[in-house]
Structure 1
Amino acid sequence: MSDRDEHIVEAAGRCRVVIQNGRVVDVGTPQIDDCPLARRFACPVDEMTPEAIRKNIEGRIRSFGMCTPQREVLAGPDFVIFGASELLSSAVRRGDLDAAVIASDGAGTLVATNPALIQGIGGRMSGLVKTSPLPAVIARIEENGGAVLDPATAVIDQAAGVALAATLGHRRIAVTTASAAEAAVIRERFSDAVIVAVHTTGMSREDAVLMVRAADLVTACASQHIRDVAAKTALLQAGRSIPVFAMTPAGKAIILGKVAETGQQIVVHGARLPVSGRESPSPLC
């Protein structure tokens, strides 16, 4: 691998982590103190400290090769019921969506039509800020039905990914994004796309308003602004500790499709949103 092999992710608590040549070289400061989801990781983050987050990332590198040429790209079981990758892989499996535009370490933006590929990449990925091309990972993605937007640079450009999906003949396209501005651009250019907002911790109120207006599904993460803004007009909330809000009928249908598919016990009841769980990320920011 060359000196270009650098990957930047925002992990638990929106903590900036830099990985170079398979090694964690820098860990920033988490924005939150506690997260119930992070405590359930395969390598749990019981305390939001740079050292605990470093151990978590190093565990991911060892277990499935994150940000290395050994990166595994397929997975089956759900990590959570209503995670973005779980919802999208379920919708593609049911035939409600043709493809999902997601981002992977080592490949950047890609179009996926294989539910196991969607889950294998998204279910294991933290907020990906920047990545470098890893030919072995790109080849593995392509072998499993994925189309990488730019194999030479591994650029992350979700709007261009939707355009690629349309060029490939897909019509029912979902796309994940952590950027409110990008979500607005996608909505303007591709009115029928299903936009899924992810990685919203620390989002400003202005961006929360913009994201909620543009997106079909919004994951609240540890964002107080998303909870406040989305709850006013959401059609449905899935989950309580880290809620996912359906802002449109299309988003609602994806959540209800997942409910119909799961074998887990589910409770459904009317309530004034947002509904909070006994445990939530702390502090909300």
Structure 2
Amino acid sequence: MRIDLKDKTAVVTGSTGGIGLAAAIGLARAGAAVILNGREEDRVEGAVRMLLEAVPGADVAGIPSDLSTAEGCARLSGALPNADILVNNVGIFGPKPFFEIEDATWERCFQLNVMSGVRLSRAYMKGMMERGWGRVVFISSESALNIPADMIHYGFTKTAMLALSRGLAKMAAGTGVTVNSVLPGPTMSEGVGEMLKEMAEEQGLSIDAAGVAFVKSQRPSSILQRPASVEEVANMIVYACSMEASATTGAALRVDGGVVDSIVP
């Protein structure tokens, strides 16, 4: 299968590293013009350089903005009024005991992980529907189905994304616009690597070995028995954004390595 996204413009939020940058690189390789996003201008510029190193000659630009606020979302959509593909990837996570999670943490997690997708879908989907083609992908998580006891606030937002993407898919019925969620399992992103660093040092392991140990101890239902790479997750995202995925909408596409113990989506 050769995915061709030439003449399509893709916005990937939270794309200065990890799954977001890997997805942006995959979309650029498929021929899409790609808009990168992050909070800090220097990190966005660095991500643009990394994408161009991976895909020389790619059509890429960066728009720095903090998508945890309505103003930040408006800045992004104002700088780029129309897009054919929207990948709602930006998000924060981190373990914290429930009784220590303050209202402000709940609110910031909700505003960034969920409301950024609400606001940007509202900004871009109407144009997609009018033009008769578009792709919206929400990056959820296996934690949407297996709510982690130490990250309830995070799991809650990822479940909300499933409801949002399913509802938007129904709203766009028959328009040529598809809306799906992608559910990664444990993935060796920069953030996860940082989380594993202390474990690796304590046990005298490499980061990769610590990742395997983490999956086996914390996600024992994993069939893959290791973290996925960001590129493996990005492959599913690029497919969901492709012409070839035209009959896939309203779906929760798992790239969880079999962590969710279910034979149905």
TM normalised by structure 2 equals: 0.35
* Higher RCO (CA-CA < 8 Å; seq separation 6+): 2
Higher-helix-fraction structure: 2
Q: Which has the higher strand share?
A: 1
Name the TM-score, length of structure 1 as normaliser.
0.33
